[in-house]
Amino acid sequence: MEIRNKFLNFPIQLLQGFLNQPKRCLRNIIDYAVYQMVYSEDAIFENIDDFMESWEVKIPTIRIQEIKSNGKYLFERISEMTSSPWTGIHISTYFSLKEEEDEFRFVCFLAFTAFKSIIQKRSWAKVSNDLLLARMAGYPSQESNGIKNPIPEKIQYWMKPKSSRRKKIFEYLEKYNRFVYLPKSRGITFSLTLSFENLAYRVEEKKALKDIKARLRVKEKERILQKVKGHFDQLRKNPP
């Protein structure tokens, strides 16, 4: 398998508690992803040896057993949830994060995976800061059963709107993750594939089309009003 195709895909819920226990969360991520690829009904590999050969990784026997048990537990537990937005990381990112200790890098990882869970396969998207923080905290939405999901203070600290800290995170994502955004838009308008110029063009194009459609609707209403008015003007001039 080509190195660029080696992604660990997982539901956003596996990010819960990441800043407090990053190693545990990373282990859950690889356990879930490998279990899905090797042992689930939708498996794409015949067995774990086939996976290790294709991905060129070596997994100790004791970890294989953990992947089977913990991966199965996570897979079945999250499968029961009604809403599970997906995200993913490259295998090289996983290995670099395993040795990471810098909280800034961890927050950048959470921000990127959150953006990825929001944009999915679209070329660009717009998200509120509240939803972005919820996804970074491992929640599909801002509320669960009508109760606002708790956002860890560390995430709130790093991602405070208009702060130099959040700007630094966005600059990091621009440099390493092809992230671009419109700094003066309401919410966060962003892309993970387009250039800044193309993103700006797409956004302005949508605004222009919306404006044109609105004007056409107004003109159509005016046309109908004139038609109705003309009908009754004729009735007044030529009563039955």
pLDDT tens sequence across 82-111 = 678 999 999 999 999 999 999 999 999 999
The structure tokens listed for 70 are 């913990």
pLDDT tens sequence across 105-154 = 999 999 999 999 999 999 999 999 999 999 999 999 998 888 999 999 99
pTM attached to this predicted model:
0.84
Q: How many CB atoms lie within 10 A of CB 85?
A: 16
pLDDT tens sequence across 181-233 = 998 777 899 999 999 999 999 998 887 877 778 787 888 888 888 888 877 77
Spatial separation of the C-alpha atoms in residues 39 and 71, rounded to whole Å: 9
202, 194 in Cβ contact below 8 A?
yes
